[in-house]
């Protein structure tokens, strides 16, 4: 025990991206369907362009552009053009992070650090909000979702009320509500009732809408940014844009909040190659996003093939993964384990299995293996 460390950190485990793989040495190749990536690498021609950018335009001895000037402009154009309701987004509405994970941490630092606030999350949801909060000593208030994974709004209201400054509690007030749209691991988008509830939250609570799966769902609340100074939308290049290896995400919010995120982040948080890769992906987005309809078709195929199996419970998904459960949590965990043994890695989380859609060949194997186990 290192006595100079914060005692609360000793209770925490380091994040393991592939917990199922811990301690195992699998000889056969594994279908990696546990982290919601796109199954396809960048096309060769784009990889070659990127290699040529490195060769001819990147000076390895120089720091990268710490202001992300070109990338922010390209992102702003993409966000404006892909919005489902009209909105004009400019570079000063954008902050770029080393993955959206970095932006989540920056938001926590900017709002809750030093005993200033707690966060509210509705489980099951993306685990990083709570993990990053705990590493910063920020209290996490959790509520449970209902049977269809909608928010229990009474419970959410009660949680906020019981942490208000005036309440008889020593816990700091809730300063941030984290929502994923559509939620991971369960795949459901926010309902109109949930959206209305988020809209009426007071301006001293930051509403984070994580749209990591926007390119699959085509649901976005980005146009709300114009009306709400306490809203921020998060997106990532790790999913449909096929750049998980490069670590790049972005936040969209009113300039006042963006300026604070810019203060909080590390000065050169995005390597030059990462900036170049994200820029290239945006320039060639039509080509890259061509795989999205295939993934959605595959999702529907898998869902249809599994939904009537009496041992399984499945929910419709608006993202590139499906979520299922068996009768008991133990049976679900066993299914995950057996799938891994057969060569398909999925994520056991929140009491269910989250299965990322892979290539059609991988999805066929997933289906065959699940049916074999059942």
Ligand X SMILES: Cc1ncc(COP(=O)(O)O)c(C=O)c1O
User: Among 117, 173, 189, 249, which residue interacts with ligand X (rule: CB under 6 A)?
Assistant: 249
Residue from the set 121, 201, 212, 232 that interacts with ligand X by CB under 6 A: 212
Which residue's C-beta sits nearest to ligand X?
Answer: 99
33, burial (CB in 10 Å: exposed 0-12, middle 13-18, buried 19+): buried
Strand runs (DSSP E) across the chain, as ranges?
31-32, 94-97, 118-123, 140-144, 174-180, 206-210, 231-236, 249-252, 313-315, 321-325, 344-345, 347-349, 352-356
Structural contact between residues 255 and 92, judged by C-beta atoms closer than 8 angstroms: yes
| Phi then psi dihedrals of residue 309, to 5 deg | -75, 125
Element (H, E) at 372: helix 360-373
Q: Please state the φ and ψ torsions of residue 349, each to the nearest 5 degrees.
A: -150, 145
Nearer to ligand X, 163 or 318 (CB): 318
Tell me if 276 sits within 8 A of 74, measured CB to CB: no
Smallest distance, Å, CB 41 to ligand X?
Answer: 16
| Separate counts of helices (H) and strands (E) for the chain | 13, 13
Site string for ligand X, 175-204 (x = CB under 6 A): -----x---x--------------------
Q: How far is the CB of 208 from ligand X (least distance, A)?
A: 10
Nearer to ligand X, 101 or 194 (CB): 101
Does 215 participate in binding ligand X (rule CB under 6 A)?
Answer: no
Contact status: 250 vs ligand X (CB under 6 A): no
**DSSP one-letter code for 42:** P
Nearest-approach distance from CB 238 to ligand X, in angstroms: 3
Q: 99 vs 117, which CB is nearer to ligand X? A: 99
Q: How far is the CB of 356 from ligand X (least distance, A)?
A: 9
| Single residue of 78, 91, 126, 358 touching ligand X by CB under 6 A | 126
The residue (of 173 and 185) whose beta carbon lies closer to ligand X is: 185
Tell me how far, at minimum, the Cβ of 178 lies from ligand X, in Å.
Answer: 9
Contact between 317 and ligand X (CB under 6 A)? no
For residues 350 and 321, is the Cβ–Cβ distance under 8 A? no
CB 198, CB 156: distance < 8 Å: no
Site for ligand X in 13-72 (CB under 6 A): 36
Region from 95-103, 132-140, 170-178, 278-286 binding ligand X, contact rule CB under 6 A: 95-103
Count residues binding ligand X (CB under 6 A): 13
Query: Does 99 engage in binding with ligand X (CB under 6 A)?
Result: yes
Q: How far is the CB of 25 from ligand X (least distance, A)?
A: 25
Minimum distance of ligand X from residue 103's CB (angstroms):
8
Whether the CB-CB separation of 100 and 236 falls below 8 Å is answered with yes
Q: Which of 345, 347, 363 minimizes the C-alpha distance to 303?
A: 363
Choose the binding region for ligand X from 93-101, 259-267, 285-293, 366-374 (rule: CB under 6 A): 93-101
Piece of 22-30, 64-72, 98-106, 341-349 that binds ligand X (CB under 6 A): 98-106
- Closer by beta carbon to ligand X, 91 or else 208: 208
What is the β-pairing status of strands 140-144 and 118-123?
A: parallel
Residue 314 β-bridge partners: 324
Question: Is residue 306 at the binding interface for ligand X, with CB under 6 A as the rule?
Answer: no
Q: Are the C-beta atoms of 143 and 120 separated by less than 8 Å?
A: yes
> Sign of torsion, CA 299 303 305 311?
positive
CA separation for the pair 73, 250 (Å, rounded): 12
For ligand X, the closer CB: 163 or 176: 176
Contact yes or no for 337/343 (Cβ under 8 A): no
Smallest separation (angstroms) from ligand X to the CB of 244: 6
Taking the least distance from each CB to ligand X, the nearer of 32 and 309 is 32
Pairwise CA distance, residues 301 & 295, whole Å: 10
Q: Does the footprint of ligand X cover residue 236 (CB under 6 A)? A: yes
List of residues contacting ligand X (CB under 6 A): 36, 99-101, 126, 180, 184, 210, 212, 236, 238, 244, 249
């Amino acid at each position: 025990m290192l006595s100079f460390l914060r005692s609360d950190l000793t209770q925490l485990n380091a994040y393991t991206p592939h917990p199922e793989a811990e301690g195992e040495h699998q000889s056969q190749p594994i279908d990696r369907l546990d982290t919601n990536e796109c199954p396809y690498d960048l096309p060769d021609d784009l990889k070659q362009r990127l290699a040529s950018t490195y060769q001819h335009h990147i000076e390895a001895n120089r720091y990268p552009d710490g202001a992300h000037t070109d990338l922010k402009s390209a992102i702003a154009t993409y966000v404006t053009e892909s919005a489902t309701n009209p909105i004009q987004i400019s570079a000063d509405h954008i902050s770029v992070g080393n993955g959206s994970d970095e932006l989540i941490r920056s938001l926590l630092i900017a709002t809750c650090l030093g005993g200033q606030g707690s966060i509210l999350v509705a489980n099951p949801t993306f685990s990083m909000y709570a993990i990053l909060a705990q590493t910063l000593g920020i209290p996490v208030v959790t509520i449970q979702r209902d049977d269809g994974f909608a928010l229990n709004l009474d419970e959410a209201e009660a949680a906020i009320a019981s942490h208000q400054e005036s309440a008889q509690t020593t816990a700091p007030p809730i300063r941030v509500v984290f929502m994923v749209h559509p939620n991971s691991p369960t795949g459901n988008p926010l309902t109109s009732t949930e959206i209305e509830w988020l809209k009426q939250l007071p301006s001293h609570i930051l509403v984070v809408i994580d749209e990591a799966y926007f390119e699959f769902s085509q649901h976005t609340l980005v146009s709300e940014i114009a009306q709400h100074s306490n809203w921020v939308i998060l997106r990532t290049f790790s999913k449909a844009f096929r750049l998980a290896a490069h670590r790049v995400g972005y936040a969209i919010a009113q300039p006042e909040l963006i300026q604070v995120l810019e203060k909080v982040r590390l000065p050169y948080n995005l390597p030059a190659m990462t900036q170049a890769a994200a820029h290239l992906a945006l320039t060639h987005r039509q080509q890259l996003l061509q795989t999205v309809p295939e993934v959605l078709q595959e999702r529907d195929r898998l869902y249809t093939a599994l939904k009537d199996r009496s041992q399984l419970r499945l929910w419709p998904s608006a993202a590139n993964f499906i979520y299922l459960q068996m009768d008991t949590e133990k049976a679900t965990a066993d299914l995950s384990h057996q799938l891994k043994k057969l060569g398909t890695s999925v994520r056991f989380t929140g009491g269910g299995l989250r299965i990322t859609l892979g290539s059609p060949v991988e999805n066929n194997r997933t289906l065959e293996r699940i049916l074999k186990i059942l």
